[in-house]
Amino acid sequence: MSQLAKLLTQEAVCLGGLRDQIEWVKTQLQLLQGFLKDADSRRKRGDATIESWISGIRGVAYEMEDVIDAIKYMHESRHQRRGCMGSISRYSHKPCELITHRKISSRIEQIKIKIQSISDGRDRYGIANLGESSGVDDSLQALRQFPPHFYDDTDVVGFEDDKEKLVKQLVDPENKNCSVVSIVGMGGLGKTTLARKLHNDPAIREHFDTFAWISVSQKYRVIELLKDIMKKVMGLTKKKQRNTRITLEELEQMGEEEVREQLRNFLRDKRHLVVMDDVWSVDVWRQMHHIFSNGNNGSRILLTTRKIEVARHAEPWIPPHELQLLNDAQSLELFRRKAFPPNQDVPTELEALAQKLAKRCGGLPLALVVLGGLLSRKDRSYDTWLRVARNMKWESSGDGQECLRILGLSYDDLPYPLKPCFLYIAAFPEDSTISASKLVRLWIAEGLIPQEQTQTMEDTARDWLDELVQRCMIQVVERSMAHGRVESIRIQDMLRDFGLSEAGKDGFLHICSSDDKAVSDGISCHRAAFHSHINDEVAVFSPHLRTLLGFNLVLKDSTSAGKFLNGLNLVRVLEFEGARDLKELPKQIGSMIHLRYLGLRNTGLKRLPSSIRHLLNLQTLDVRDTGIYWLPKSFWKIRTLRHVHINILAFLSAPISGDHNNLQTLQIANYVRNINVISLFNHILAIRFIKNWVTTPGFTEEAMDRTCGRMLGKSLGKAIEKMDSLVSLTLEFSLMPRGILFAHAPNLHHLRSLNLFGRLLLRPLLGYPSYIGGDLAQ
């Protein structure tokens, strides 16, 4: 709705005869919004006839989004041609535009027919109008009267004795063997929280020489688990350090046996603590236990699992530690901590209800924190709490079923716009740590975040993320030390499983795992997430796919990218981070005119097709940790860019030009994978005196760095003047010249984050210039 309203108010966009059609669609969709609330509440009660009705509205919304993108693309294309070739080019394309105009008009007419059918269904099903919405959902506006109170995500209640006993086992001076200490219990009991508390305990940190935490989960690849341990215990970085023998890139090239050997040799001389969280099978221990050779130095493996047979197999001599459900007093205390601000007691009039609600959770910590999070967003009146209690009409069974019911209750209570944001998180692999910035950008690219007048979409998305944290629907892994902002999150397994179940009901999301031999042709979904392996014929099973997420993909060959991208003309999001086998993108990617997010971090790519200049709706480009060193010069004519992560060579190959009022994040890194900077510098920049200089005897890489730095300063200095919306600027370069930032930056009023990595060749600053935004992290 917000996109339609924005389109209709942009007089610069020549809508012609389309305006009346778009106005009609906007009016009808606005009317249907009021009925969605009633439809959603009836779906909660299991009314199956409503499912297809809601799905129909979502389908129409997707189709209208495509139309909006097509109109904007047509306008932007005309704008670019006008700027490049003048009026002759503009008039020469007029016949093509008329054809496109007719196609768009025809599509809108088809959409109008579908909307009319949906409206008829509304009357047939007896769906009531519960009030129209004005942009941002009313329930979201109401939440702002309840400022969130944040708490320690590793908060534990009732586990004090458990922790004390486990610490003694971990640091036992009498036991010099490399022993396994196991925590066993049902899902939602707090195994991971307790393990995290132990991992971060000062006594534990002082006792061991090196640490690693790996999440194993139900689907795993042993080679990735081994590499994960190696990265952490050895502290590997992109560049070789004095105390490490290899770099991250060298590790990525290693085979499994070499990794095993290196890891075994390293751990032999170190007293180590390795946490293996969420182990589901005996097989993973059988395949990995050989690396933990017994150096008789008191090393430990801390293992969490739901299955006691896994714990007993890993360590036959030490009994597993079995967590118990909380008693009534402990349950009430944990519930109180989540439902009320710190140090606030339960009001007298709510004491009896609080005890009743806590008891309904059956002593399961996850159920208690989620229910407490739900009530923390309600007014603290007896009637409000009583309504929640009446929705919990079940008896405690002690088997965890109470938790599933409470998860459903909490999800149903989410404001309607927040539900797809929560479901989206389930697309990430089990137990993974998720970057908050990445998640926010994905939400925006998906169109899940509305544009408000008072703040940016990124700020709105951050508010919604905090809301999910407050409700205990997600857990905070890391916060910024500067301003407390959430940096990364994770989602508990049971909540993720619940989200996947809900997301699959109307084709919102489909997960394809490594053990899926094929994807059924009958599946129709708008978003697909592939974990490890990808089906070459993605477009066959879902021609209307809007989002393709890949996590640590293993491809058959470098050309297979062309196969699985073929036919995905409606896609808005492509995310391939970690796909090291991805060596090439097809030039057809330029025809994906709806594409808003292109995530290629840590892939095997060395170039981008020049056709990316046609991606006129692109918001995010991330090519960090790749060999990509070139961008087409017209790349910066994409005026929708919001977040760009590139290396210095790519930046210098296509200096920023034009105004970039939407650009909020710019990261320029020095690191280019598998690239000899000196040998490529002349090829990229074609500067004659540099060519002569490179061939001069005694030329050094530091001299090259200084030259690159000067050119970066000159190019960036001019560009910053036109980036008045920039919020975050990150520069990673070994030698940054004096004046690179402040001399040319009078407009950085919104800058909050400035990250500089390298030697900044500046005279000491007494402080930041007055024009730098006051929220800048100190």
- Kindly tell me if the per-residue pLDDT of 658 is higher than 90: no
Q: Which residue has the higher pLDDT, 52 or 12?
A: 52
Mean pLDDT of the chain, nearest integer: 79
pLDDT at site 733: 73
Q: Which residue has the higher pLDDT, 36 or 138?
A: 36
Write the class of the CATH domain 160-322: alpha beta
- Kindly tell me if the per-residue pLDDT of 683 is higher than 50: no
- Kindly tell me if the per-residue pLDDT of 143 is higher than 90: no
pLDDT at site 321: 96
Choose among 381, 393, 415: nearest CA to 133.
415
pLDDT at site 40: 66
- Kindly tell me if the per-residue pLDDT of 242 is higher than 60: no
Give the whole-angstrom CA distance, residue 516 versus residue 478.
33
Range list of H helices, 191-269: 191-199, 202-207, 222-234, 248-252, 256-268
pLDDT at site 268: 87
First to last CA, the chain: 39
Could you write out the DSSP letters of every residue in 671-712?
--TT--HHHHHHHHH--HHHHHHHTSTT--HHHHHHHHHHHH
pLDDT at site 521: 45
pLDDT at site 148: 61
Give the whole-angstrom CA distance, residue 604 versus residue 586.
14
Q: What is the mean pLDDT of residues 347-369?
A: 93
Give the whole-angstrom CA distance, residue 192 versus residue 277.
7
pLDDT in tens, 597-633: 999 998 988 889 999 999 989 999 999 988 888 888 8
Structure tokens at 741: 């930032």
E strand or H helix at 301, and its extent? strand 300-305
Q: What is the mean pLDDT of residues 383-407?
A: 78
CA 236 to chain centre: 24
- Kindly tell me if the per-residue pLDDT of 686 is higher than 60: no
- Kindly tell me if the per-residue pLDDT of 7 is higher than 70: no
pLDDT in tens, 206-226: 999 999 999 998 888 899 999
Confidence of residue 637 (pLDDT cuts 50, 70, 90): confident
Amino acid identity for residue 121 in this structure: G
Contacts of 462 by beta carbon, 8 Å cutoff, 6+ apart: 436, 440, 485, 486
Q: What is the mean pLDDT of residues 501-507?
A: 83
Q: Which residue has the tokens 């999910």?
A: 468
pLDDT in tens, 161-176: 999 999 999 999 999 9
- Lowest average pLDDT, out of 120-124, 400-404, 764-768, goes to 764-768
- Kindly tell me if the per-residue pLDDT of 152 is higher than 70: no
Q: Give the burial class of 271: count Cβ atoms within 10 A of its Cβ; 0-12 exposed, 13-18 middle, 19 or more buried.
A: middle
Q: Tell how many helices (H) and how many strands (E) occur in the chain.
A: 28, 18
pLDDT in tens, 704-736: 666 666 777 777 777 777 787 888 888 887 666
pLDDT at site 95: 46
pLDDT at site 149: 58
Q: Which residue has the tokens 């990229």?
A: 684
Instruction: Say what the alpha-carbon torsion angle 61, 574, 624, 769 is, to the nearest 10 degrees.
Output: -10
- Kindly tell me if the per-residue pLDDT of 382 is higher than 50: yes
Choose among 542, 488, 557: nearest CA to 511.
542
- Kindly tell me if the per-residue pLDDT of 68 is higher than 70: yes
Confidence of residue 247 (pLDDT cuts 50, 70, 90): confident
Classified as helix, coil or strand, 665 is strand
- Kindly tell me if the per-residue pLDDT of 13 is higher than 60: no
Amino acid identity for residue 135 in this structure: G
Amino acid identity for residue 41 in this structure: S
- Kindly tell me if the per-residue pLDDT of 641 is higher than 90: yes
Q: Which residue has the higher pLDDT, 61 or 522?
A: 61
Confidence of residue 688 (pLDDT cuts 50, 70, 90): very low
Confidence of residue 319 (pLDDT cuts 50, 70, 90): very high
How is the chain split into domains, by residue range? 2-135, 160-322, 327-493
- Kindly tell me if the per-residue pLDDT of 684 is higher than 50: no
Portion of the chain with pLDDT greater than 70, in percent = 73
The full 3-state SS of 558-582, as one line of letters, equals CCHHHHHHCCCCCCCEEECCCCCCC
E strand or H helix at 510, and its extent? strand 510-512
Q: What is the mean pLDDT of residues 482-488?
A: 87
Neighbours of 599 (CB within 10 A): 25
Q: What is the mean pLDDT of residues 393-397?
A: 61
- Kindly tell me if the per-residue pLDDT of 770 is higher than 60: no
Are residues 624 and 602 in contact, defined by beta-carbon separation less than 8 angstroms? Answer: yes
Q: Give the burial class of 110: count Cβ atoms within 10 A of its Cβ; 0-12 exposed, 13-18 middle, 19 or more buried.
A: exposed
- Kindly tell me if the per-residue pLDDT of 86 is higher than 50: no
pLDDT at site 748: 78
Beta bridge partners, 643, equal: 620, 665
Confidence of residue 274 (pLDDT cuts 50, 70, 90): very high
pLDDT at site 334: 94
Are residues 32 and 80 in contact, defined by beta-carbon separation less than 8 angstroms? Answer: no
Confidence of residue 252 (pLDDT cuts 50, 70, 90): confident
Q: Which residue has the higher pLDDT, 284 or 239?
A: 284
φ, ψ dihedrals at 278, nearest 5°: 65, 55
- Kindly tell me if the per-residue pLDDT of 69 is higher than 50: yes
- Kindly tell me if the per-residue pLDDT of 693 is higher than 60: no
Structure tokens at 505: 């009901």
- Kindly tell me if the per-residue pLDDT of 462 is higher than 90: yes
Q: What is the mean pLDDT of residues 773-778?
A: 45
- Kindly tell me if the per-residue pLDDT of 98 is higher than 80: no
- Kindly tell me if the per-residue pLDDT of 421 is higher than 90: yes
Confidence of residue 232 (pLDDT cuts 50, 70, 90): very high
- Kindly tell me if the per-residue pLDDT of 277 is higher than 90: yes
pLDDT in tens, 562-607: 667 877 878 899 999 988 888 888 888 888 888 999 999 989 888 8
- Kindly tell me if the per-residue pLDDT of 33 is higher than 80: no
pLDDT at site 751: 85
Give the whole-angstrom CA distance, residue 371 versus residue 353.
13
Give the whole-angstrom CA distance, residue 507 versus residue 524.
6
pLDDT at site 111: 86
pLDDT at site 59: 77
Looking at mean pLDDT, say which of 123-127, 244-248, 447-451, 768-772 comes out highest: 447-451
